[in-house]
């Protein structure tokens, strides 16, 4: 073996030895002690909980150090914890002793509620109670044995038999149920984002319902009262439901009977509405005056057993000019047709002005402001100013035959007198 090879072998052995010593020192914490690195804190527990020197110390499952020493005290046990340098462990962190597995060794885990400070420094102490320790296996087995011993064997046998009967011949349905559950889980996993949004919106809906809780309770009470009323009226409701088909048939027959005339009536109602609108001012005045007239009517019957009539004379003289002279009046016994006399008031103010052209005008609904009148000539049967749908003059021959005026016959009786200026 040459000198160079010997030197390389010796260097390899020395470096390996140094590495092994360093790793052993790091594992035992000697390197941190010598170099002054790391944080040393203490923890107190009622019992060791299976911990020993060298047990791991974790922060939410991540290793941050180990138990360097254990000291028994009157209150329990005190642990010296050697934590890695730079560990930021909140002082309010609770600690628990857990098992690595069912038969594995124990370790001490810190589970802080948040990552806010202050943080542990060398010399600080953490305190743990009985809830920090795992359940003792011996106690667990004893309690489990007591529970099993308390179960009646005959009843247990009956339960097992009934379970066997219940699941008998249900293999395929259970398989389909499991397959459907697997499909449901895959579908739900594919729509995770939509599910999260649905839950967020559901939270808002529930918050709104919580704000309306009093109204919802009131609604529930009212619904309860309604259902009670319906329950008490059950016989009446059954009678109504039994009579409904007959009533529906009668209504249907009535509508069929009215089918030829009901559209005409509705159309005529529209025309009446137009006439009322054009004379809306007079209708309003009538509604204002009518209560006063009714109230004043009782002044003629004060309750003394007599009716009182008052005559009030107006100082305004009546209009007499423009009308047929008295000596030309026809006697009531003369029933022959005669020409129409163009009667109208020609006296002028201050005489009482009579006739349609002196009637008040409605300027709020676009009235043209002209005075309209019409007349009927019995010799020819022509209604002045009235035309039918074809523009021909309307001839009124027989009062019992209004069909000659067409579908608007009765309308002309209402508006005919105001269609000719």
Q: Which of 206, 240, 274 is the last residue of a domain?
A: 240
pLDDT tens by residue, the chain, 421 residues: 677 777 777 777 778 877 776 676 665 555 555 555 678 888 999 888 888 888 889 988 888 888 888 888 888 899 898 888 888 888 888 989 888 776 668 888 988 888 887 888 888 889 888 888 887 777 778 888 888 888 788 888 888 888 888 777 777 888 888 888 888 888 888 888 888 888 888 888 888 888 888 888 888 889 988 888 888 888 888 888 888 888 888 888 888 887 777 777 777 787 788 788 888 888 888 888 887 777 776 676 767 777 777 766 666 777 778 888 888 888 888 888 888 888 777 877 777 766 666 665 555 544 444 444 455 566 676 666 566 667 777 665 544 444 444 455 555 555 554 444 4
Q: Is residue 132 part of a domain?
A: yes
Q: Is residue 372 part of a domain?
A: no
Residue at token pair 């020819």:
380
Whether residue 128 is found in the same domain as residue 197: no
The answer to whether 127 and 41 are in contact (CB under 8 A) is: no
Q: Is residue 173 part of a domain?
A: no
Q: Is residue 6 part of a domain?
A: no
Whether residue 61 is found in the same domain as residue 129: yes
Residue 307 neighbours by CB under 8 Å, 6+ apart: 300, 301
| Nearest residue to 132 via CA among 249, 234, 50 | 50
Classify residue 405 by burial, with Cβ atoms within 10 Å: 0-12, 13-18, 19+.
Answer: buried
The Cα angle at residue 295 between residues 290 and 299, in degrees rounded to 5: 135
Q: Is residue 120 part of a domain?
A: yes
pLDDT (tens digit per residue) in 55-96: 889 988 888 888 888 888 888 899 898 888 888 888 888 989
Whether residue 132 is found in the same domain as residue 46: yes
Q: What is the pTM for the complete model shown?
A: 0.32
Q: Which of 240, 271, 297 is the last residue of a domain?
A: 240
Q: Based on the structure, what is the number of domains in the chain?
A: 2
Structural domain that includes position 232: 192-240
Residue at token pair 């009215």:
258
Whether residue 54 is found in the same domain as residue 129: yes
Whether residue 48 is found in the same domain as residue 133: yes
Whether residue 44 is found in the same domain as residue 125: yes
Classify residue 268 by burial, with Cβ atoms within 10 Å: 0-12, 13-18, 19+.
Answer: middle
Q: Which of 240, 272, 299 is the last residue of a domain?
A: 240
Whether residue 49 is found in the same domain as residue 125: yes
Classify residue 196 by burial, with Cβ atoms within 10 Å: 0-12, 13-18, 19+.
Answer: exposed
Q: Is residue 395 part of a domain?
A: no
pLDDT (tens digit per residue) in 274-325: 788 888 888 888 888 887 777 776 676 767 777 777 766 666 777 778 888 8
Whether residue 208 is found in the same domain as residue 132: no
Q: Is residue 320 part of a domain?
A: no
Half-sphere exposure of 330 (CA within 13 A, CB side): 10
Classify residue 412 by burial, with Cβ atoms within 10 Å: 0-12, 13-18, 19+.
Answer: buried
Classify residue 66 by burial, with Cβ atoms within 10 Å: 0-12, 13-18, 19+.
Answer: buried
pLDDT at 290 (0 to 100): 81
């Amino acid at each position: 073996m040459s000198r160079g090879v010997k030197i390389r072998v010796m260097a390899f052995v020395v470096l390996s030895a140094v590495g092994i010593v360093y790793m052993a020192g790091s594992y035992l914490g000697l390197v941190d002690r010598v170099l002054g690195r790391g944080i040393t804190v203490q923890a107190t527990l009622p019992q060791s909980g299976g911990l020993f020197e060298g047990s791991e110390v974790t922060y939410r499952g991540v290793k941050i150090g180990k138990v360097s020493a254990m000291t028994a005290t009157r209150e329990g046990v005190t642990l010296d914890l050697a934590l890695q340098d730079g560990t930021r462990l909140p002082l309010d962190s609770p600690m628990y002793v857990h098992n690595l597995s069912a038969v594995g060794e124990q370790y001490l885990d810190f589970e802080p509620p948040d990552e806010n400070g202050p943080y542990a420094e060398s010399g600080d102490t953490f305190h743990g109670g009985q809830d920090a320790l795992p359940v003792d296996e011996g106690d667990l087995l004893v309690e489990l044995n007591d529970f099993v011993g308390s179960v009646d064997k005959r009843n247990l046998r009956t339960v097992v038999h009934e379970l066997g009967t219940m699941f008998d011949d249900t293999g395929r349905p259970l398989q389909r149920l499991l397959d459907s559950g697997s499909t449901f889980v895959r579908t739900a996993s594919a729509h995770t984002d939509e599910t999260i949004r649905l839950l967020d919106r559901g939270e808002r809906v529930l918050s709104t319902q919580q704000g309306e809780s009093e109204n919802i309770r009131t609604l529930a009470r009212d619904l309860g009262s309604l259902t009670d009323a319906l329950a008490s009226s059950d016989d009446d409701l059954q009678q109504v439901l039994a009579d409904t088909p007959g009533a529906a048939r009668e209504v249907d027959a009535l509508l069929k009977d009215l089918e030829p005339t009901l559209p005409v009536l509705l159309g005529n109602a529209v025309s009446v509405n137009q006439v009322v609108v054009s004379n809306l001012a007079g209708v309003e005045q009538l509604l204002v005056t009518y209560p006063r007239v009714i109230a004043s009517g009782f002044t003629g019957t004060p309750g003394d057993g007599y009716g009182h009539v008052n005559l009030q004379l107006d100082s305004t003289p009546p209009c007499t000019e423009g009308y047929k002279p008295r000596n030309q009046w026809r006697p009531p016994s003369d029933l022959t047709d005669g020409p129409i006399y163009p009667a109208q008031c020609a006296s002028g103010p201050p005489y009482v002005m009579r006739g349609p052209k002196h009637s008040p005008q409605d300027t709020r609904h676009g009235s043209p402001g002209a005075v309209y009148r019409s007349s009927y000539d019995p010799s020819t049967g022509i209604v002045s100013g009235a035309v039918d749908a074809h523009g021909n003059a309307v001839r009124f021959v027989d009062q019992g035959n209004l069909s000659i005026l067409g579908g608007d016959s009765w309308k002309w009786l209402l508006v005919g007198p105001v269609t000719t200026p």
